[in-house]
């Protein structure tokens, strides 16, 4: 075998190197000549032009931050606006010693460590010549104090900026969200030039989800400044483009009613227009004051909000995951009818408990004495557990999972807000994947009454109820109705979208279940008959009571509170009027006890407000 060995040929290598080095030299000289050419262009040909620009006056370029779009409710009630406020700002490059300057400033203006920390974080992200706010919302006294001492602080100035303001304070805070000071992460995700003059960015809610629409486009001002820093004339100005206004689907009045109805309770309400998926109200209590976040919270207040046992910052409507309890029963009933596992006449005998064959475990009904012979209508109206144990056992988990999926359980609804959680609709696959265990028949029974692994969000419950109300149209919930051009006020309406349509072989099945749900409210023995007695319209509803499975080991509760926080969650879903549904509601009251006693009256108040108010309000 012959291997070819290349020997080093030093003479050839040296010659090769010399050639290459010579070529490199020629290219270097040529490139340098290009630079010289450019310099000749700038310093000889363009000299007069640039000299004029530089002579006595100099050009400064400043960003003109756009005005953030306003937010209105569906009837034109202002939910978010911009108010002028003073802030103190520093151009780091023009300051000789930042720390000393800040220390001296803090003698005139109250500046805490959080302000300083945030200032330094933002400073690292921005060029040294950018003006960076140190503290917002100075009061008049502070402005005056600084103005007198301004000569001591080169590179520091007071700026008048528009600050976000939420005139309704705590109202609808979980829907609207708030803006806060831009942090490092956010600055990396946006176009830094477009945010050159912007100090705040949407952090949560509509403010975050529609940030790019609300923000607008930055403008630029070229100004001549004399040696003393005074503006002599504006050379060029590209006006900023204000952000678009948003018209929400939220009804501020209804929202107020929902929050009032929840009162001091922890809970959530979602009210939808079943015909479009419009979110009429989205409440999560307790609430908090979003204006605090605009001005900047100190660590203590924020810590209190975050660590509060009541979790005011937690958006229960989108992220709260609760067992649906008995509110799942109408859907299971529909599945039974649709898959022909039961007829409307079929009766199951309820002795107060249910057992699987070959198993001695007794699954109890909430009513110890039992409901006796029970058909579907009675089972829903009186919330019989045994009927649904039996039905779900007949259906099996696979059919239940397939059927409930059509109503959006266990999946994101696709609402135009960020942070929504999918909750959980269990299946055989899911259990194998997560728990590495097979599915046990007993677990199907529990799922059939809305307990066990089953979890839903209030938003999911509301959309599923709306789908029921429309007999199968599953509209994607939406919170923004239209974009509005701030100048022409022309509306750009976002059209509602159907996620999917549930179709049955026998459309009568809808009527059967809806009739049973009507009996829940208006029947003689319906579980929510208390709210149906004096109603001026016909309501279809379903109560639910979800067990709370104890508290986590690592959480500490005050002794007296343990009982309170272990009480069952109260749930209620409803839509009305039955003949032509205009509103679908889901209500959850954490540890409320019973669905009929606590959650149903909340829903009734909301529906009353919406359906019985003077029609004048519905300007749209």
Partner 1 sequence: MLDSSYRVQRLGERRRIRWFFLVRGLHLDMPLFTALVVLSAVGLGILYSASGQDVNILIRQSIRVLIAFTAMFFLAQIPPHHIKRWAPWIFTFGLSLLVAVLTIGEIGKGAQRWLDLGLFRFQPSELMKIAVPMMVAWYFAERALPPSNAQLLVAGLLTIAPTLLIAKQPDLGTAVLICSSGLFVLLLAGMRWRTVTSVILLVIPLGWLFWEFGMHDYQRGRVLTFLNPENDPLGAGYHIIQSKIAIGSGGIYGKGWLNGTQSHLEFLPERSTDFIFAVFSEEFGLIGTILLLLLYLFIVVRGLYIANEAQNTFSRLLAGSLILTFFVYFFVNIGMVVGILPVVGLPLPLISYGGTSMVTIMIGFGILMSIQTHRKLLPA
Binding site for partner 1 (CB under 8 A): 6-9, 12-14, 16-18, 20-21, 24-25, 28-29, 31-32, 34-36, 38-40, 42-44, 46-47, 49-51, 53-55, 58-61, 63, 91, 93-94, 124-125, 127-129, 184, 188, 191-193, 196, 218, 220, 222, 227
Residue 161 vs 542, nearer CB to partner 1: 161
Residues 6+ apart with CB under 8 A from 272: 278, 279, 280, 462, 463, 465, 466, 475, 477, 583, 584, 585
On the question of a cis peptide bond just before residue 577, with omega within 30 degrees of 0, the verdict is yes
Q: Name the H helices within 163-251.
A: 173-176, 184-189, 205-209, 211-215
Residue 189 vs 524, nearer CB to partner 1: 189
Residue 34 vs 579, nearer CB to partner 1: 34
**Buried b or exposed e, range 277-287, using 16+ CB within 10 angstroms:** bbbbbbbbbbb
Residue 364: strand pairing partners: 353
Residue 124 vs 433, nearer CB to partner 1: 124
- Name the token pair of 345: 């006449």
Q: Is 326 tagged catalytic?
A: yes
Shortest separation between residue 53's beta carbon and partner 1, angstroms: 5
- Which of 131, 284, 290, 326 is labelled catalytic? 326
Cα separation, 131 vs 146, whole angstroms:
17
Shortest separation between residue 216's beta carbon and partner 1, angstroms: 14
Shortest separation between residue 226's beta carbon and partner 1, angstroms: 10
CB atoms within 10 A of CB 71: 27
Contact 216, 241 (CB under 8 A): yes
**Measured distance between the N- and C-terminal CA atoms of the chain, rounded to whole angstroms:** 91
Residue 240 vs 444, nearer CB to partner 1: 240
Shortest separation between residue 8's beta carbon and partner 1, angstroms: 5
Q: Name the H helices within 41-97.
A: 47-54
Shortest separation between residue 173's beta carbon and partner 1, angstroms: 30
- Name the token pair of 232: 């002599």
- Pairing outcome for strands 245-248 and 71-72: parallel
Shortest separation between residue 69's beta carbon and partner 1, angstroms: 20
Cα separation, 301 vs 291, whole angstroms:
13
| Rounded alpha-carbon distances, angstroms, from residue 80 to 70, 73, 168 | 6, 10, 8
- Pairing outcome for strands 241-242 and 231-238: unpaired
Cα separation, 207 vs 434, whole angstroms:
35
Nearest CA among 282, 279, 277 for reference residue 258: 282
Shortest separation between residue 309's beta carbon and partner 1, angstroms: 35
Q: Which residues are known catalytic residues?
A: 326
């Amino acid at each position: 075998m012959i291997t070819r060995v290349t020997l080093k040929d030093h003479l050839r290598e040296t010659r090769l190197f010399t050639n290459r080095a010579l070529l490199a030299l020629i290219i270097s000289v040529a490139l340098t000549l290009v630079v010289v050419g450019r310099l000749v262009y700038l310093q000889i040909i363009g000299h007069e032009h640039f000299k004029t620009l530089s002579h006595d006056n100099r050009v400064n370029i400043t960003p003109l931050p756009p005005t953030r779009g306003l937010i209105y409710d569906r009837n034109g009630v202002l939910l978010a606006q911009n108010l002028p406020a003073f802030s103190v700002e520093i151009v780091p490059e023009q300051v000789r010693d930042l720390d000393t300057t800040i220390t001296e400033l803090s003698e005139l203006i109250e500046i805490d460590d959080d302000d300083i920390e945030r200032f330094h974080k933002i400073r690292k992200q921005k060029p040294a010549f950018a003006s960076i706010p140190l503290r917002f919302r100075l009061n008049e006294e502070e402005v005056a104090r600084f103005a007198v001492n301004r000569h001591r602080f080169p590179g520091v100035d007071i700026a008048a900026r528009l600050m976000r303001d939420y005139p309704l304070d705590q109202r609808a805070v979980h829907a609207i969200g708030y803006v806060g000071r831009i942090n490092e992460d956010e600055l990396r995700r946006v176009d830094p030039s477009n945010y050159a003059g912007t100090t705040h960015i949407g952090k949560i809610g509509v403010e975050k989800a529609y940030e790019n629409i609300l923000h607008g486009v930055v403008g630029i001002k070229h100004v001549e400044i004399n040696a003393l820093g005074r503006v002599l004339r504006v050379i060029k100005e590209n006006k900023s483009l204000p952000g678009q206004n948003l018209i929400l689907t939220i009804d501020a009045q209804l929202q107020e009613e929902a929050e009032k109805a929840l009162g001091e309770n922890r809970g959530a309400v979602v009210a939808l227009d079943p015909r479009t998926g419009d979110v009429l109200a989205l409440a999560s209590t307790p609430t908090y004051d979003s204006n605090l976040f605009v001005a900047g919270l100190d660590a203590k207040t924020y810590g209190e909000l975050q660590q509060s046992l009541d979790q005011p910052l937690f958006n229960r409507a989108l992220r709260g995951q609760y067992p649906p309890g008995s509110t799942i029963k109408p859907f299971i009933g529909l599945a039974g009818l649709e898959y022909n596992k039961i007829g409307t006449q079929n009766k199951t005998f309820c002795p107060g408990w249910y057992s699987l064959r070959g198993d001695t475990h007794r699954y109890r009904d909430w009513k110890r004495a039992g409901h006796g012979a029970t058909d579907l209508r009675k089972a829903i109206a009186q919330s019989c557990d045994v009927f649904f144990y039996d039905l779900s056992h007949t259906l099996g988990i696979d059919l239940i999972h397939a059927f409930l999926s059509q109503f959006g359980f266990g999946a994101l609804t696709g609402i135009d807000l960020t942070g929504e959680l999918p909750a959980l609709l269990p299946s055989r696959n899911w259990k194998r994947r997560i728990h590495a265990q097979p599915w046990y028949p007993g677990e199907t029974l529990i799922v059939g009454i809305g307990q066990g692994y089953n979890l839903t969000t209030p938003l999911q419950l509301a959309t599923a109820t709306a789908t029921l109300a429309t007999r199968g149209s599953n509209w994607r919930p939406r919170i923004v109705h239209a974009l509005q051009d701030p100048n022409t006020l022309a509306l750009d309406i976002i059209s509602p979208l159907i996620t999917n349509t549930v179709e049955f072989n026998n459309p009568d099945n809808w009527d059967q279940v809806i009739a049973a749900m009507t009996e829940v409210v208006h029947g003689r023995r319906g579980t929510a008959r208390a709210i149906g007695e004096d109603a001026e319209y016909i309501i279809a509803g379903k109560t639910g009571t979800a067990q709370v499975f104890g508290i986590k080991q690592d959480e500490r509760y005050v002794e007296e509170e343990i009982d309170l926080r272990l009480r069952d969650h109260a749930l209620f879903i409803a839509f009305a009027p039955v003949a032509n549904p205009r509103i679908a509601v889901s209500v959850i009251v954490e540890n409320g006890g019973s669905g009929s006693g606590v959650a149903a009256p909340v829903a009734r108040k909301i529906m009353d407000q919406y359906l019985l108010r003077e029609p004048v309000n519905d300007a749209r």
